[in-house]
Structure formats: structure tokens, C-alpha cells
């Protein structure tokens, strides 16, 4: 087994991938219909993207819990607005990506787990229980086989007449997933057993990844912009659960065989002998496995493995001790889901103490600020550790971590160490509570926290170096500028070349047509096509332009609302600048657009409050011809150009329908009544808005009158 040299690990990408979290929304009960439309669209898109990442690329970017939360939210919104269920809704999608994508396979003999012993005493108790159960005297000799416990993924392999026919993951112990095709790609799983084998036999073992292979694979994943795994176990599991076996084939998986399930004939009388048969059939058995005759030998082996552990090529978290005699194993049987004849004697988690020198804030590709502890280098279980995750702002406050503190570090399976506790007695005098920055360390923009989210995010977007590529990818995406032939890969390629800094640079690419044609994988025709596709998008609708900027919470629906409300780019720009001040009239107008509201108004104000964003927009607009939003269908309608407010409940049409109708006629619909309001449509049970209209002398009409004005009747 390869030994792993002392190593430092490049964390940056790992943290980035791990801290990305889906956007959380407001309470479903408080969503307006407009918001629901926008959010269902976002969820459909996001869930489809995560499905693809998970099923096709084995590069999930969010945890299962986060994914489930997205689906749950989608279902909740759909339950409240059933008429808004989209044809491409994630809840309607069946077949393409079933629950797991794999068929279920029943194990002939259940796959069990192991009880744990946390020290010599508990191991002794296990031995006593076994002897007592067998009716043996307390000092009766017993023999064990000890095997290092690798934290991987157990699998069940079925061989019929010596041929590998099926293989499944453990699953719930009774039923697992059929991963036969993937297991066939592993060269440590023999296709045919050598020598004589029973007509039917189930062989069990652990699929795992070595530390070196894991680090190498993560490096490659990171370089390709793909998900990196937190630890070798996740990497092994993710690699085996691939729908496309070609992906598994490229992953460095290994297997140690160690147990048996069903067998049509007995193959050995002791476990030690069984391990030999496994080797003879062509399996790899952990060479460190040892035959032991006393509890003292077991304790010595445990100590030996604890010392060897850090130098092994793979992670182990303990040693499994199995009573060697298979007849005794059969008599002992099981209790609950664990055998009485085996136990996992676990190692304590690897810990070390060191000093926290600095807290660095790392900005992820989506703007999330992640605190990383910079430590005085220390060896934890053979890995030289200089960084540890601090998760987020609340976690730092909860632990009251201060710079200069002595901290206890722990590596428990995961490659990224955790700070377990602070040794407060060693706290230097004058150490101050840590203040989490409220500006982005990369671009200097505000970093804000949305209520309910643990993550603080940079608002810099396109002006933040850490987020630029991601934002440019959004900029050219289908609902935004939709530039043919300019996908993620090309954006990254040109960014690395230094050609793309801001969105305006995209429109300078046609001038580089000759240079692009010279590049590997390009050529005259594709360079020409790209230049044409870009030129074609110099003319752009105002709503797409707004959406492309990637301002937080401005999805395509909100972008359309803004475009319709403000009409032209110049007007929108002017009004947004007028809305920067929190109490300004511009802000009030913005917040009163139906479907926008004060929270979104604040996002826009934040964005325009940053001079660099305004410069970026102006620079971009200079390259473009931004088309005015179509305001009216019937310019001569009586309400074209008027500002309307609906209040009370309408009986003959829904509020969204009334609003859509009004907008189609060229009216502007707002939420609150002001001096600027031209007309208030008063439905049943109207309250303060109708009163206010009266006070301000604004014209009011009944629902019936509104229907006539709008041409319904």
C-alpha cells in the first residue's frame, strides 16, 4: 500500500464548493403571485441543474438536505399556487432521474453493521459477553482475526459458477442499489474466481479510495471547475454511485474483501482460512489483517495500528475484531443489526493543539464569505495542518474564537480539520472578540446577510474578482444576453487569457476575431460565428439587460417589471440613482411597484449606491442599443400612462389579471396611494387605501367602472 508523505492540502477550492448554499426565500404564505412565478421558475432551473450535477457529473454542489429543501419549497409553493405549476416542474418529472437512478437489489443474507468499542474496557466487555453467551468459562481461550477498519463503502458481490453476476451497495442492509456495471470497471473485483468456487457465493468487502488518489482526484476535479469531495469516503461513494460506468472507470477505486454472505457450500471453518480463500480466488485482502489468540494481543495490535495509522495509504478509524471460529460465529448470531461475534474498536479522533494566527476571509464564486483559520502548522494524524474551517460568522461568535487563541483541532474522517474547542486558559491578554468584516476583502463592496441565512455575501457581483467569471457566465446565459457559442468553457478560457474583465469586454471580442481563430479548437469559421453572435446582441431589450446584471433577487420576472415600469434605460438608470437614499421619493416609488417591494428595492439601491457598478453599466451601455420596453398595446386607451392602484377584493377577476390588463394598456400599477396616483380601483372591503385616495383627491372607480375602462365589457 502506498505510504503518504506529510502533506499540505489546498483548501481554497474545497471550501468554495462546500459553502455554496441555495438561496432561501420568504415565507411561502407571504409570497405574492408574481414572486411565486419567479421563484418556481428559479427552482425549476436550479433543481434541474443540481440533478444534472448529481446524476450526470457526480459533482453535487449542495448537500442532500439542501437539495431536499429546494424540492420541498417548490412543492410548498405549488401547493399554494396550483395554477402556476410549470410544465417543466421538478415535481412533474418522473422517469429520467428516479430516486437514485439505480435498480434495487435484495441481499440474500442481510448486510449488518458493527457495534463499537471505544476502549480496552469495552472490548473486554464484548469478549465477556461472547464467552457468556457460548457458556464458556471466563478464561476460555478464544481466537480473533483483526482487520483495519477502512471508512469506505461496503458492497455485496454475487458470484454464480465462479462468475461475477451482480453487485450492490449495502443500502438499508436488506436492499441495496444495483451498481454491477460500475463494479465491473474495478480491477480489484475479479470477473471470474480462480480455482474451485461454490455454485453461488456472496462476497463482501469495502470499496475505498487511497489518500493519495483522493487528493489527486480532487486536484483534477478542482482544475476542471468540478465539485471536490470532503473526504475519501464521500469520493468513493460518489464515484461508485455513477449512472454512467465510464465515469466510475476513471475513478481510482480499490477493494478489500473481508466477509461472506450466502454460500451454496461451506468454504472454510475459520475466518482466517476464509480470508485465504478470498486471496486464492483473486481478491485483495488487507495485508495488515492479523490472527490473534488473546485479549492482550488484541490490545497490542490496537496500539500498533494507532501508531501506524497516519502512515497508511488510506484512512482507518479503528480495527474490526472477529471471532475466528465460524461455528462459534454461527452460534453467536446477531442482536439487533450487529453480530455478537464482531466489534469495531474505534480510535479516538485525531486531535492536536495549536495557535490561531489569523482569520482569513475567503470569497467564493457566488460571493459567500467563508472564514478560514490560519494556524501555526501542526501535525494531525500525519497531515500537516495550517488551515481549518470556521464555517461562518455565527460559529465564530458561538465558540468565541479569538486571534491568538490556542485551539484544539480534530480530523475525524474529513480531510478538512475542525476546531473543537478553545483553550481559554491560554488566551493572550487583550485578545478581542472577532469582528466579522462587513465589506468584501476582495473588492471592498458591502457584504450583507439576508435574514435567515448563515452566510454573509459580497454584493460586488460583476466588480468582484472572486465572482466575475460566475457573473459573466450568467450574463451570457439563455434568459440574459443569450450569446450563441459563448458558454461557460469559453468564458473561462477568455477570462484566463485576460480578455474578459467586465461585460463590456464581451463586445470587444469581435475585434479579436483573428486572434480567436488562431486558438486551439477554434478556427476561422467558429471565430466568425462567435463575432456575429455577439454583434447580434448589441441590440437588447431593457428587461434582458437588467436581468443580465445579476443583481441579487432580480430574476427575469422582476427585471420585466422594472423594464415595464421605467420604460427606457436612461429613465431606469436615473430613477435607480434617485432611489439610492433610504428615505428618498425614488426609493418609495421603487418599493411601491407591485411585485418589487422594499426588500428588492433595497437590493437595487445597494447596487446603484456603488459607483463602480454605475460605471460598469455605463461602459456596457455605451456598447449597446438598449430597446425601450413596450409600454402599451393601445396607446389611445384612457388609462395609458396612468398610475393605478387596486385595493379591496375584486370579484370578477384576479388581482394579477387586473394588473396584467392594466399594464397591457400602458398603465403603471403600484401598491400604495400617493400624489402621483391617477386612479384607484376600489373593490369590496377596501380600507385605508381608498380613504387615502379620498384625502388626496385621487379619482376612484368601482370594479364595474374599471371593467369598462379596461374594455372587458
**Least distance (Å) from ligand IVH to the CB of residue 177?**
15
CB of 40 closer than 8 Å to CB of 86: yes
Q: Please report whether residue 255 would count as binding ligand IVH according to CB under 6 A.
A: no
Which of 515, 544, 542 lies closest to 530, judged by CA?
A: 515
CB of 569 closer than 8 Å to CB of 621: yes
> How many residues interact with ligand IVH (rule CB under 6 A)?
15
Q: Please report whether residue 206 would count as binding ligand IVH according to CB under 6 A.
A: yes
CB of 361 closer than 8 Å to CB of 369: yes
**Least distance (Å) from ligand IVH to the CB of residue 393?**
36
Please give the angle made by the CA atoms of 672, 673 and 679, to the nearest 5 degrees: 120
Distance in angstroms (rounded) separating the CA atoms of residues 514 and 236: 45
Cell 418609495 sits at which residue?
588
Q: Please report whether residue 443 would count as binding ligand IVH according to CB under 6 A.
A: no
Q: Please report whether residue 174 would count as binding ligand IVH according to CB under 6 A.
A: no
For ligand IVH, the binding residue among 18, 70, 150, 594 (CB under 6 A) is 150
- What DSSP line would sit under 582-611, residue for residue? TT-HHHHHHHTBTTTHHHHHHHHHHHHTSH
C-alpha grid cell, residue 348:
479516538
Site stretch for ligand IVH (CB under 6 A), options 146-154, 297-305, 508-516, 545-553: 146-154
Number of residue whose CB is nearest ligand IVH: 154
Site stretch for ligand IVH (CB under 6 A), options 36-44, 75-83, 147-155, 216-224: 147-155
For ligand IVH, the binding residue among 78, 147, 325, 405 (CB under 6 A) is 147
End-to-end Cα separation, the chain, in angstroms: 84
CB closer to ligand IVH, 209 vs 500? 209
* DSSP structure class, residue 14: H
Spot the catalytic one: 149, 211, 322, 689: 149
How many whole angstroms from its chain centre is CA 502?
27
For ligand IVH, the binding residue among 236, 237, 342, 576 (CB under 6 A) is 342
CB closer to ligand IVH, 235 vs 596? 235
Q: Please report whether residue 344 would count as binding ligand IVH according to CB under 6 A.
A: yes
Q: Is 554 left (phi over 0), alpha (psi -120 to 50) or beta?
A: beta
Burial class (CB in 10 A: 0-12, 13-18, 19+), 612: middle
Please give the angle made by the CA atoms of 518, 524 and 525, to the nearest 5 degrees: 140
**Residue 149 bears catalytic tag:** yes
DSSP H or E run through 339: strand 338-339
Q: Please report whether residue 259 would count as binding ligand IVH according to CB under 6 A.
A: yes
Site stretch for ligand IVH (CB under 6 A), options 106-114, 392-400, 401-409, 624-632: 106-114
For ligand IVH, the binding residue among 4, 117, 320, 480 (CB under 6 A) is 320
Q: Please report whether residue 113 would count as binding ligand IVH according to CB under 6 A.
A: yes
**Least distance (Å) from ligand IVH to the CB of residue 247?**
22
Q: Please report whether residue 317 would count as binding ligand IVH according to CB under 6 A.
A: no
Q: Please report whether residue 168 would count as binding ligand IVH according to CB under 6 A.
A: no
* DSSP structure class, residue 629: P
CB closer to ligand IVH, 258 vs 566? 258
**Least distance (Å) from ligand IVH to the CB of residue 141?**
23
- Interstrand relation of 342-346 and 116-117 (parallel, antiparallel or unpaired): parallel
Q: Please report whether residue 154 would count as binding ligand IVH according to CB under 6 A.
A: yes
CB of 445 closer than 8 Å to CB of 610: yes
Binding site for ligand IVH (CB under 6 A): 112-114, 147, 149-150, 154, 170, 206, 258-259, 320, 339, 342, 344
Return the active site residues. Answer: 149
Amino acid at each position: 500500500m502506498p505510504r503518504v508523505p506529510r502533506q499540505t492540502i489546498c483548501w481554497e477550492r474545497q471550501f468554495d464548493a462546500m459553502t455554496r448554499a441555495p438561496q432561501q426565500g420568504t415565507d411561502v404564505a407571504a409570497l405574492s403571485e408574481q414572486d411565486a412565478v419567479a421563484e418556481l421558475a428559479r427552482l425549476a432551473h436550479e433543481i434541474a441543474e443540481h440533478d444534472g450535477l448529481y446524476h450526470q457529473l457526480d459533482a453535487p454542489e449542495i448537500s442532500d438536505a439542501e437539495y431536499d429543501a429546494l424540492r420541498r419549497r417548490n412543492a410548498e409553493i405549488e401547493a399554494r399556487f396550483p395554477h402556476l405549476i410549470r410544465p417543466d416542474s421538478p415535481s412533474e418529472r418522473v422517469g429520467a432521474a428516479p430516486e437514485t437512478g439505480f435498480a434495487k437489489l435484495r441481499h440474500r443474507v442481510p448486510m449488518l453493521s458493527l457495534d463499537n468499542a471505544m476502549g480496552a474496557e469495552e472490548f473486554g466487555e464484548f469478549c465477556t459477553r461472547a464467552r457468556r453467551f457460548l457458556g464458556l468459562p471466563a478464561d476460555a481461550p478464544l481466537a480473533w482475526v483483526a482487520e483495519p477498519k477502512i471508512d469506505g463503502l461496503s458492497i455485496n458481490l454475487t458470484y454464480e459458477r465462479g462468475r461475477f453476476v451482480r453487485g450492490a451497495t449495502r443500502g438499508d442492509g436488506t436492499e441495496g442499489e444495483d451498481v454491477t456495471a460500475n463494479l465491473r470497471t474495478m480491477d480489484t473485483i475479479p470477473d471470474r474466481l480462480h480455482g474451485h468456487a461454490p455454485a453461488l457465493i456472496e462476497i463482501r468487502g469495502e470499496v475505498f479510495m487511497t489518500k493519495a488518489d483522493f487528493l489527486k482526484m480532487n486536484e483534477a476535479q478542482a482544475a476542471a471547475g468540478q465539485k471536490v469531495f470532503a473526504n475519501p469516503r464521500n469520493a468513493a461513494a460518489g464515484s461508485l454511485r455513477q449512472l454512467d460506468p465510464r465515469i466510475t472507470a476513471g475513478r481510482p477505486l480499490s477493494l478489500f474483501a473481508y466477509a461472506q454472505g450466502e454460500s451454496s457450500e461451506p468454504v472454510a471453518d475459520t475466518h482466517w482460512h476464509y480470508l485465504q480463500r478470498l486471496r486464492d480466488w483473486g481478491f485483495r485482502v488487507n495485508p495488515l489483517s492479523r490472527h490473534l489468540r488473546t485479549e492482550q494481543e488484541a490490545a497490542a495490535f490496537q496500539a500498533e495500528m494507532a501508531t501506524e495509522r497516519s502512515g497508511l495509504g488510506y484512512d482507518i478509524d479503528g480495527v474490526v475484531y472477529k471471532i475466528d471460529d465460524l461455528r462459534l460465529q454461527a452460534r453467536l448470531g446477531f442482536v439487533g443489526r450487529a453480530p455478537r461475534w464482531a466489534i469495531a474498536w474505534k480510535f479516538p479522533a485525531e486531535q492536536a493543539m495549536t495557535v490561531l494566527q489569523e482569520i482569513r476571509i475567503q470569497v467564493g464564486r457566488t460571493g459567500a464569505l467563508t472564514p478560514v483559520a490560519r494556524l501555526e502548522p501542526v501535525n494531525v494524524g500525519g497531515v500537516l495542518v495550517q488551515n481549518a474551517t470556521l464555517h461562518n460568522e455565527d460559529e465564530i461568535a458561538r465558540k468565541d474564537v479569538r486571534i491568538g487563541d490556542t485551539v484544539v483541532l480534530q480530523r475525524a474522517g474529513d480531510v478538512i480539520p475542525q476546531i473543537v474547542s478553545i483553550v481559554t486558559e491560554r488566551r493572550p491578554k487583550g485578545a478581542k472578540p472577532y469582528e466579522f468584516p462587513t465589506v468584501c476583502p476582495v473588492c471592498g463592496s458591502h457584504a450583507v446577510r439576508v435574514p435567515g441565512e448563515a452566510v454573509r455575501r459580497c454584493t460586488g457581483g460583476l466588480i468582484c474578482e472572486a465572482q466575475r467569471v460566475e457573473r459573466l457566465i450568467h450574463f451570457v446565459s439563455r434568459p440574459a444576453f443569450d450569446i450563441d457559442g459563448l458558454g461557460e468553457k469559453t468564458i473561462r478560457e477568455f477570462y484566463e487569457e485576460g480578455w474578459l474583465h467586465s461585460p463590456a469586454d464581451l463586445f470587444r471580442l469581435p475585434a479579436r476575431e483573428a486572434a480567436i481563430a488562431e486558438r486551439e479548437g477554434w478556427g476561422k469559421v467558429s471565430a466568425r460565428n462567435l463575432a456575429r453572435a455577439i454583434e447580434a446582441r448589441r441590440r437588447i431589450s431593457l428587461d434582458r439587460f437588467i436581468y443580465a446584471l445579476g443583481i441579487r433577487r432580480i430574476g427575469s420576472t422582476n427585471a420585466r417589471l422594472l423594464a415595464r415600469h421605467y420604460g427606457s434605460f436612461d429613465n431606469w438608470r436615473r430613477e435607480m440613482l434617485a432611489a439610492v437614499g433610504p428615505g428618498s421619493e425614488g426609493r418609495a416609488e421603487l418599493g411601491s411597484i407591485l411585485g418589487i417591494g422594499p426588500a428588492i428595492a433595497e437590493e437595487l439601491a445597494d447596487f446603484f449606491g456603488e459607483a463602480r457598478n454605475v460605471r460598469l453599466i455605463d461602459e456596457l451601455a455605451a456598447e449597446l442599443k438598449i430597446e425601450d420596453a413596450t409600454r402599451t398595446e393601445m396607446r389611445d386607451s384612457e388609462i395609458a400612462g396612468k398610475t393605478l392602484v387596486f385595493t379591496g377584493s375584486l370579484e370578477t377577476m384576479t388581482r394579477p389579471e387586473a394588473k396584467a390588463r392594466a399594464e397591457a394598456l400602458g398603465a403603471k400599477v403600484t401598491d400604495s396611494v400617493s400624489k402621483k396616483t391617477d386612479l384607484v380601483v376600489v373593490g369590496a372591503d377596501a380600507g385605508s387605501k381608498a380613504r387615502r385616495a379620498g384625502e388626496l383627491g385621487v379619482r376612484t372607480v368601482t370594479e364595474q367602472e374599471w371593467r369598462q375602462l379596461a374594455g372587458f365589457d
